[in-house]
Amino acid sequence: NTGLAGKVAFIQGGSRGIGAAIAKRLAADGAAVVITYVKGADQAQATVDAIKEAGGNAVALQADSADAGALSAAIRRTVETHGRLDILVNNAGTLAVAPLDQFSLEDFDRTLAINVRSVFVATQEAARHMTAGGRIINIGSTNADRMPFAGGGPYAMSKSALVGLTRGLARDLGPRGITVNNVQPGPVDTDMNPDSGDFAAMMKGMMALGRYGRTEEIAGFVAYLASDEAAYVTGASLSIDGGFAA
């Protein structure tokens, strides 16, 4: 338990996968959590129900991270409801893979809007409400450092962009005692990257540990970065990837 009692966390993209595991862990450690989703209302409600059944405090809001106005409004609503904001987790992400000659500009633009622009938009809004001790945690990818298959250039670019954005935002917010960090998972078993089939087998062959990560493992790392104990970590891109990029 990283001691988050009394804190409020906003997790964009928290209905399933890594984001849901982060929401459950931060709630178990005492934070009141607000998660967003875009399509999966039932899944978001299931995550909220699971947190409540475990004794936690959770709410789900529909807000498309590609829509800057909707995302900022969800953050403002969180502050109105809970009276404060301590932790922002920018987890919403999309993975488009296609051969170069078939990769659409719509997918290119959507990748940038969800994986990069939403991080800037949410940080800008959250920073208006956070005080000293605030925590901003981005979910990047080990693909920022290593992209070993074809067709994923825009995804790798979007996650590399977070490395620079995280450094710069840490400079903006460091003087206020707010940290900004970027967690770079390796392959983690979710809907986006199921631990089955030929692709997963190929990924495992590239990793020092030879296995997919569990969403709870990523959530534990995020909980540490959200804690008071991590006050001296900022501007960092930190990999938790089973040695994928080693």
| Site map (CB under 6 A) of ligand NDP, residues 65-104, x = contact | xx------------------------xxxxx---------
- Only one residue has tokens 């605030």, namely 134
Sign, Cα dihedral of 17, 19, 20, 21: positive
Query: Side by side, which strands form the sheet with 135-139?
Result: 57-62, 32-37, 8-12, 87-90, 135-139, 179-185, 237-240
Nearest CB to ligand NDP, comparing residues 73 and 133: 73
Catalytic residue among 37, 155, 212, 224: 155
Smallest separation, CB 177 to ligand NDP (Å): 26
Cα(102)–Cα(58) distance, integer angstroms: 41
Nearest CB to ligand NDP, comparing residues 181 and 193: 193
Please tell me whether residue 225 binds ligand NDP under the rule CB under 6 A. no
Parallel/antiparallel/unpaired status of strands 87-90 and 135-139: parallel
Which span sits near ligand NDP by CB under 6 A: 64-72, 99-107, 124-132, 232-240?
64-72
Question: What Å distances lie between residue 186 and 122, 139, 162, 227, 241, CA to CA?
Answer: 24, 11, 15, 22, 4
Which span sits near ligand NDP by CB under 6 A: 24-32, 76-84, 119-127, 187-195?
187-195
Question: 109: helix, coil or strand?
Answer: helix
Question: Cα angle vertex 6, ends 80, 10, to 5°?
Answer: 50
Please tell me whether residue 64 binds ligand NDP under the rule CB under 6 A. yes
Q: Catalytic residue at 155?
A: yes
Smallest separation, CB 132 to ligand NDP (Å): 27
Please tell me whether residue 185 binds ligand NDP under the rule CB under 6 A. yes
Nearest CB to ligand NDP, comparing residues 46 and 133: 46
Q: Which H or E run contains 125?
A: helix 118-127
Smallest separation, CB 233 to ligand NDP (Å): 19
| Site map (CB under 6 A) of ligand NDP, residues 112-151, x = contact | --x------------------------x-x----------
Quick one: tokens of 74? 């969800």
CB atoms within 10 A of CB 55: 8
The alpha carbon of residue 140 and the mean position of all alpha carbons in its chain are separated, in whole angstroms, by 7
| Site map (CB under 6 A) of ligand NDP, residues 9-48, x = contact | ---xxxxxxxx----------------xxxxx--x-----
Nearest CB to ligand NDP, comparing residues 16 and 129: 16
Provide φ and ψ at 59, rounded to 5°.
Answer: -140, 145
Task: List, by residue number, the catalytic residues.
Answer: 155
Residues forming contacts to ligand NDP in the complex (CB under 6 A) are 12-19, 36-40, 43, 64-66, 91-95, 114, 139, 141, 185, 187-188, 190-193
